Amino acid sequence: LGHTTIKDIARKLKISTSTVSRALRDKYDVNPETRQRVLDLARELNYLPSSQALGLKQKKTLTIGVVVPEIDNEFFSDAIYGIENVAFERDYHVMICQTRDSAEREERIVEKLLTARVDGIILSISSSVTDVKHLKRVMEYDVPLVLFDRISDAIDTHKVLNDDYDGALKAVEYLVKRGKKRIAHLAGSLNLQISKLRLNGYKDALKKAGMPINQNLIVESGFKREESRIAAKALLLDQKPDAIFCASDNVAIGAILAARDLGISVPKEVAIMGFSNLSISELIEPPLSTVNQPAKAMGETSAKLLLDIIGQGDKIFDPKTIVLKTEVIPREST
């Protein structure tokens, strides 16, 4: 019953716990016979070491925390996929946590991870977060922190990003080239860095094309599907755009649903383009053009960066920002 300990093994074998420990770790000089007896009994008793005791002793947990707004989201689950691949290789365990875009939960989760003494944290900031004191706290503890995608310039740590500005620029240029005249923008949450950059890309693309920037065509929609659906519905009714550039996959889905609600055909009457990973766009007829984000690569890059920092121990690193390329994927058949 309960968990077998090294002590149980020592007692039954009438040897000391240190010998058992040594035999189990297969690293020190131990009489081969003794080792075998220990190994056999350990197997028989279903021995599993306690990572708590180990962590306590060695000040390492071989665990990293990953904090994302939501796991049921193509972009983040791809990123997690990438993170897990790298971690798995290096024998690190990944604790996946979702904040559901709540600042309160994000704080609670970060605290929990700190309490669990994870060796490092990879995090994408919730859109409702306005104060990053919980992240500064992580840094005060000297727990390596890598932010990805949804970052903040209020904190000076390692970051892994898309070229958001450039992606948005190219997306809107693409729409312009297809002859769109009233290109709207559903901007997500503008307290996020990525949203601001994407908005800037949108604006600059219009400027370059000599088109006016119409504030009525720019709407801060939030990142949730239903929020965006409502925002998009109002936008479509009031402004009759012939294209909408959306700040994320879910925003784009919200916009598609809104168009359907109103009987407006996509992309014939209104083109919808998202900053996105929409493999889901495959399910939509006809498929949409998107700006694809290298989600998996972002995850891998973040994890490698974090684990390298952890591996280096106390050596101090200058915060590093890595920018990954996005790519416009045209999908219209016409």
Partner DNA sequence: TTGTAAGCGTTATCAA
Partner DNA sequence: TTGATAACGCTTACAA
| Residue numbers at the binding site for DNA (CB under 7 A) | 3, 5-7, 14-19, 21-22, 24-25, 28-35, 47, 49-50, 52-54, 56-59
Cα separation, 163 vs 178, in Å, equals 23
Contact 294, 322 (CB under 8 A): no
Q: Considering Cα of 28, then 33, then 39, then 41, what sign does the dihedral take? A: negative
* Residue number, 78 or 164, with CB nearest to a second copy: 78
Choose the contact partner of 98 out of DNA, a second copy, none; CB within 5 to 8 A by kind: a second copy
Classify residue 212 as exposed, middle or buried by CB count within 10 Å of its CB (0-12, 13-18, 19+): exposed
Q: Tokens 């002590």 label which residue?
A: 7
Choose the contact partner of 64 out of a second copy, DNA, none; CB within 5 to 8 A by kind: none
Rounded (10°) CA dihedral 103, 73, 170, 212? -60
Return the SS3 of 218.
strand
* Residue number, 58 or 215, with CB nearest to DNA: 58
Number of residues that bind a second copy (CB under 8 A): 46
DSSP character for 201? H
* Residue number, 112 or 196, with CB nearest to DNA: 112
Q: Strands, DSSP E only, in the chain? A: 63-68, 93-98, 120-123, 145-148, 158-162, 183-186, 218-219, 243-246, 271-276, 290-292, 321-324, 327-329
User: What is the identity of the amino acid at 99?
Assistant: T
Position among 13, 49, 166, 220 found at the interface with a second copy (CB under 8 A): 49
Q: Tokens 């056999």 label which residue?
A: 40
What would the two tokens of residue 94 be? 């990944």
What would the two tokens of residue 255 be? 């916009």
Site for a second copy in 234-293 (CB under 8 A): 253, 256-257, 260, 280, 282-285
* Residue number, 49 or 269, with CB nearest to a second copy: 49
Choose the contact partner of 127 out of a second copy, DNA, none; CB within 5 to 8 A by kind: none
Query: In whole angstroms, how close is the CB of 57 to DNA at the nearest point?
Result: 4
Mark the segment that binds a second copy (CB under 8 A) among 67-75, 196-204, 243-251, 296-304: 67-75
Query: In whole angstroms, how close is the CB of 105 to a second copy at the nearest point?
Result: 8
Cα separation, 194 vs 275, in Å, equals 10
* Residue number, 77 or 239, with CB nearest to a second copy: 77
Position among 26, 29, 72, 153 found at the interface with a second copy (CB under 8 A): 72
Which spans of this chain sit near a second copy (rule: CB under 8 A)?
Answer: 1-3, 46, 48-53, 55-56, 61, 70-74, 77-78, 80, 84, 93, 95-98, 111-112, 114-117, 137, 140-142, 253, 256-257, 260, 280, 282-285
